[in-house]
Chains A and B, each alone.
Chain A
Amino acid sequence: NAGVTQTPKFRILKIGQSMTLQCTQDMNHNYMYWYRQDPGMGLKLIYYSVGAGITDKGEVPNGYNVSRSTTEDFPLRLELAAPSQTSVYFCASSLDRPKGYGYTFGSGTRLTVV
């Protein structure tokens, strides 16, 4: 199994540009998450989803959008990139919260907005 796959691994955007960070998992996990990690900091939750068609805001949702049309995919959209969105973005998934499963993280996307 590939686990959680994120693409691209690196990207440089100009201010005002848009892009979609892709996240896909092949473990049939219901729960999926997007986090951002600023240099030397912890992870901040952007959006999460508990199943196809269901999404909810996390701690820092402004400037981002998500969709969950399938169980496997959870793309993160940046509409108008700003320098404050320079960060490393991690996607994660989990089978089922109530059973206490751990979360599997992708390898991350390093985004720079200039």
Chain B
Amino acid sequence: ELKVEQNPLFLSMQEGKNYTIYCNYSTTSDRLYWYRQDPGKSLESLFVLLSNGAVKQEGRLMASLDTKARLSTLHITAAVHDLSATYFCAGLLKNTDKLIFGTGTRLQVFP
């Protein structure tokens, strides 16, 4: 079975700083997804990474995928308060339709 692990689980960072959230997965995954969840809200799709070396950027967030290392990263550049949320990565178990989520990284950005 696919296991998806994120670290750190909690991240408190100052505005203007850079940081990276890591997502490791245990077995071959067809593709990797990143989602954002605000408190008490549903999940918002951020990125879909389909192949080795894929890199996608939206605003201050950049996601990448290394299938050989079974690692995806979500890099935050010059953090702002509006990025405070919980970020989840999820992997699609290869040759199945099971989308498995990590435990999430709760990000707090303070002035």
Give me the interface of A with B, judged by CB distance under 8 Å: 31, 33, 35, 41-45, 48, 50, 56, 58-59, 90, 92, 97, 100-108
Given the interface pairs A43-B88, A100-B31, A100-B48, the reply to whether A107 lies near B98 with Cβ below 8 Å is no
**Is the CB–CB distance between B101 and A50 below 8 Å?**
no
In the bound complex, what is the Cα–Cα distance between A102 and B48 (angstroms)? 6
Chain B residues with Cβ below 8 Å from A101 are 48
In the bound complex, what is the Cα–Cα distance between A45 and B33 (angstroms)? 15
Chain B residues with Cβ below 8 Å from A100 are 31, 48, 50
Chain B residues with Cβ below 8 Å from A43 are 43, 88, 90, 101
Chain A residues with Cβ below 8 Å from B92 are 97
Size of the B side of the interface (Cβ < 8 Å), in residues, is 23
Chain A residues with Cβ below 8 Å from B31 are 100
**Is the CB–CB distance between B43 and A42 below 8 Å?**
no
Give me the interface of B with A, judged by CB distance under 8 Å: 1, 4, 30-31, 33, 41-45, 48, 50, 88, 90, 92, 97-104
Q: Which residue of B is nearest A41, CB measured? A: B103
In the bound complex, what is the Cα–Cα distance between A47 and B54 (angstroms)? 29
**Is the CB–CB distance between A105 and B43 below 8 Å?**
yes
**Is the CB–CB distance between A48 and B97 below 8 Å?**
yes
Chain B residues with Cβ below 8 Å from A90 are 42-43
**Is the CB–CB distance between B42 and A108 below 8 Å?**
yes
> Would you give 28 A-B contacts (Cβ < 8 Å), ordered by A?
A41-B104, A42-B88, A42-B101, A43-B90, A45-B98, A45-B99, A48-B99, A50-B97, A56-B97, A59-B1, A59-B98, A90-B42, A90-B43, A92-B99, A97-B30, A97-B97, A101-B48, A102-B33, A103-B33, A103-B99, A104-B45, A105-B42, A105-B43, A105-B44, A106-B42, A107-B41, A107-B42, A108-B42
In the bound complex, what is the Cα–Cα distance between A31 and B100 (angstroms)? 15
Chain B residues with Cβ below 8 Å from A45 are 98-101
**Is the CB–CB distance between A44 and B101 below 8 Å?**
yes
Chain A residues with Cβ below 8 Å from B50 are 100
17 further interface pairs, Cβ-Cβ under 8 Å (given A43-B43, A107-B41): A31-B97, A41-B103, A42-B4, A42-B104, A43-B88, A43-B90, A45-B101, A48-B98, A48-B99, A50-B97, A56-B97, A97-B97, A100-B50, A103-B45, A104-B45, A105-B43, A107-B42
